[in-house]
Amino acid sequence: MKTNQLYDSILAQRDPSQVKGLMRFFKTGKGQYGEGDQFLGIKVPVTREVVKQCWQEVGFDELETCIASEYHEMRLAALLTLIQVFKHAKKDKALQQQCIDFYLAHTQYINNWDLVDLSCYELLGNWLLDKDRSLLYDLARNGKTIWEQRIGMVSTMQFLRHGQLDDTYAIAEIFLAKPKPLHDLLQKAVGWLLREAGKRDEERLKEWLSTHHQAMPRTMWRYAIEKLPAYSFRHATMADLPLMLRLRDQAREIMRSYGNVNQWPEGYPPQEKFEKDIELGCSYMMNDLCGTTVATFAMLPGPDPTYAIVYDGQWLNDAPYLVVHRIASTPESHGVLDAILDFCEAQATDIRIDTHADNIVMINGLKKRGYQYCGIIHLLNGDERLAFQKTISTSLS
């Protein structure tokens, strides 16, 4: 009787001390997605090394035994071996087709996320690069298990690596149309592939998200935007004035909610200030990932006349500086100050900013970012403000 070298070699690497940890990691408890799966305690690099040593000696009969094994690592070894056979059969399309047929005939055993993710785009993704891809759409839409559905999505990774983004977005829309709640592992797969698509074309991902975000479950959204900047910036125009004034009024209410009732009285800053900022080209609008404007601010070149004299202190230096004024945002936006200062600090070597003594949130935010208190300045109407400055390092180290 012919020995199964792959089966025997994997079995020889079993490590009982690793079994419990792997069972927890792959969620094998009752009611979990990997319920009932069995492990030998072999880590992936060890499995890969075994496959590297013996894949050429393994036939489809041996693969049949391994893929149907109760042991997770044995099934993974079968899939990694199948990939090697497929990759080394570039000139043998019949053998490659046999690999694909074998894979599709055994999806019932490809029953955890790692088994899917380590195999599908290497096999199906590669095979379908120059072929009709309706198979993946069918798996995503009608797969009998979450694993078959995940195969439909993750296989598009190979297309992304070849600069082909259309199928990733189209298949993502299939999942958005599915009944809710969508399984967490499908949300993660879709979000992950969207994120990968965004690495190739960030603007396209942003545009897609702007029209689909309302339908996206939370986990999918979180995975998709992980590598994107949370906010974007543009110059304000006169058409933005009504929105800027609404943001000003919302910011006033936010200040009052935490006890800062004196900084911006009703009607302050006046519309004329915003208009002047726009005319100077120094007024900005900040948009979130969905394209919604969530904040406004002004970044102006110094010198600012109200900064000419500092009481009970002094500026850090006499270097040219930019001034940040009139920050206003929506109540539900988060990380606004950090995002604005990131933007401003990228364009300046020195920044000066002032705020009211009661604006504890702003004061704490500035100190956290390394802004140093420099004393008290007076506005043109005589009101006092606390002055802060930060010198931006230009070192590349």
Same domain, 70 and 169: yes
**pLDDT surpasses 90 at 62:** yes
| Average pLDDT, integer, range 203-228 | 92
Looking at residue 395, its pLDDT comes to 45
Handedness of CA 137, 138, 139, 142 (dihedral sign): positive
Mark whether 210 and 241 lie in a shared domain: no
Over 60: is that where the pLDDT of 1 sits? no
Whether residue 192 has pLDDT greater than 70? yes
Q: Are residues 131 and 238 in the same domain?
A: no
Nearest Cα residue to 13 out of 106, 84, 65, 76: 76
Output the pLDDT for position 394: 58
Residue 60 is encoded by which pair of tokens? 């489809």
pLDDT value at residue 18:
96
Whole-angstrom distance, CA of residue 101 vs CA of residue 165: 25
Token pair 């298949």: residue = 171
Domain-ending residue, one of 209, 224, 239: 224
In a domain, 396, yes or no: no
Helix, strand, or coil (residue 172): helix
Q: What is the mean pLDDT of residues 106-112?
A: 98
| Residue given tokens 């009481």 in the structure block | 311
Statement: residue 241 has pLDDT above 70: yes
Pick the residue with more confidence: 258 or 192? 192
Same domain membership, residue 165 and residue 20: yes
What value does the mean pLDDT take over residues 246-255?
Answer: 94
pLDDT class of 396 with cuts at 50, 70, 90: very low
User: Would you call 258 helix, strand, or coil by DSSP?
Assistant: coil
pLDDT of residue 69: 97
Looking at residue 161, what DSSP letter applies? H
The number of distinct structural domains making up the chain is 2
- Tokens linked to 282: 């120094």
209 CB-side CA count, 13 A: 28
Locate tokens 């040219």: which residue?
A: 320
The predicted model scores a pTM of 0.74
Same domain, 13 and 111: yes
Contacts made by residues 185-189, CB under 8 angstroms, sequence distance 24+: 185/33, 185/113, 185/146, 185/150, 186/146, 186/149, 186/150, 186/153, 187/217, 187/218, 187/219, 187/220, 187/223, 188/219, 188/220, 188/223, 189/113, 189/150, 189/153, 189/154
Strands (E), the chain: 231-235, 283-288, 293-301, 322-329, 350-355, 372-378, 384-391
Is 326 part of any domain? yes
Q: Which of 195, 224, 253 is the last residue of a domain?
A: 224
* Residue 366 structural domain: 231-391
**Mean pLDDT throughout 185-212?**
95
* DSSP codes of every residue in 268-331: -S-HHHHHHHHHTT-EEEEEETTS-EEEEEEEEESPPGGGS--BSS--S--S--EEEEEEEE-T
Task: Pick the last residue of a domain from 173, 190, 224.
Answer: 224
Determine the average pLDDT of the residues in 106-127.
98
Residue 12 lies in a domain: yes
pLDDT at 353: 97
Q: Based on the domain organization, do 214 and 178 belong to the same domain?
A: yes
Q: Which amino acid is at 86?
A: F
Contact of 37 with 111, CB cutoff 8 Å: yes
Instruction: Kindly state the percentage of the chain with pLDDT values over 90.
Output: 90
**CA–CA gap between residue 262 and residue 88 (Å, rounded):** 74
245-248 long-range contacts (CB < 8 A, ≥24 apart) are 245/271, 245/274, 247/293, 247/295, 247/296, 247/328, 247/329, 247/330, 248/274, 248/296, 248/326, 248/328
- Average pLDDT in the 123-149 region? 98
Residue 46 lies in a domain: yes
* Residue 2 confidence (pLDDT) above 80: no
The β-bridge partners of 71 are 38
What type of residue sits at position 112? N
User: Is there a domain that residue 385 lies in?
Assistant: yes
Lowest pLDDT segment from 131-145, 164-178, 323-337: 323-337
Look up residue 71 and give its DSSP letter. Answer: B
CATH of the domain at 56: 1.25.10.90
pLDDT value, residue 320? 95
Is there a single domain that holds both residue 311 and residue 202? no
119 and 267 fall within a common domain: no
Q: What angle, 0 to 180 degrees and rounded to 10, lies between the N-to-C axes of helices 146-154 and 166-176?
A: 150
- The reply to whether 397 falls in a domain is no
| Residue 202 CA, distance from chain mean position | 11
Same-domain pairing of 209 and 316: no
Question: Both 329 and 378 in a single domain?
Answer: yes
Both 236 and 377 in one domain: the answer is: yes
pLDDT in tens, 339-393: 999 999 999 999 999 999 999 999 999 999 999 999 999 999 899 999 999 999 7
CATH number where 359 lies: 3.40.630.30
Mean pLDDT of 245-266: 92
56-68 burial, b for 16+ CB within 10 Å, e for fewer? Answer: eebeeebbeebbe
Over 70: is that where the pLDDT of 103 sits?
A: yes
Judge whether 284 lies within some domain: yes
Residues 67, 196, single domain; the answer is yes
- How far is Cα 225 from Cα 203, in angstroms, rounded to an integer? 12
